[in-house]
Homo-oligomer: A and B are copies of this chain.
Amino acid sequence: MVELDKSGEKMAVVLVSGGMDSAVAGGLAREAGYGIYALSFDYGQRHRVELEAAGRVSAWLDAVEHTVIRVELERIGGSALTDDIAVPKDRSGSEIPSTYVPARNIIFLSIALSRAEAAGAERIVIGANAIDFSGYPDCRPLFIESFQRVAEIGTRMGVEGRAPMVWAPLIDMSKAEIVKEGIRLGLDFGITASCYDPGPDGEPCDRCDACRLREKGFSQAGAMDPLQKDR
């Protein structure tokens, strides 16, 4: 098994989606002194421009690696993000939307746990947040706690009493607070991508949940989104 990095640096596996949340979460891990294994997924998402953004974010994080793992979730179906279902626009209401990918964060955390265990990393970092979010059940603090328990019981590291800690540093932050943290960390938000349904050149649709939450965050933080400035 690959053990801790030769430098003795403490390491974290960061789930990097290409969006602003995981970029800020990764920035907080780096600020806390962690070396970073960046991990992204090619899961048949329609917004594949996010994988390019994930590469830019990983470079900003000085990640020692950026691994993109293919997982054929488009063969599972059931979501507007991977299936032939329209992405909802200008949505109101609090029900779980059709962009929910069944068990997506559980799958991503499981593979991050596998990578953390293979590499001997101490933390798994996820940008989930439960305040200004789309209502996905796998973004709530209780979910993170339940997954932590799985990591403690279901892995070799857990049996040895050193399960990786699942760290969701944004879990209680509003989108405005996340924008402010990103600004403080020196993140150029122009390298990130949030839209679920971008145009042919990757331009955001401005109307899906992800675009609207992002706009709300910048607006409430009194900041300008570089993705809007150039348009």
Contacts and interface: CB of A to CB of B under 8 A. Distances in A.
A153 B150 CA distance: 13
Contacts of A149: 146, 149
Interface string A87-118: 00000000010001111111101110111111
Interface string A44-73: 000000000000000000000001011111
A183 interface: no
Copies of this chain held together in the complex? 2
A2, A72, A100, A101 pick with most chain B CB within 10 angstroms: A72
A32 interface: no
Contacts of A107: 107, 110-111, 114
A204 interface: no
A86 interface: no
Contacts of A106: 110, 113-114, 150, 154-155
Given A107-B114, A114-B102, A150-B146, A156 B67 contact: no
12 contacts: A71-B72, A71-B111, A76-B114, A76-B115, A102-B155, A103-B114, A137-B158, A138-B155, A143-B150, A146-B149, A149-B149, A150-B150
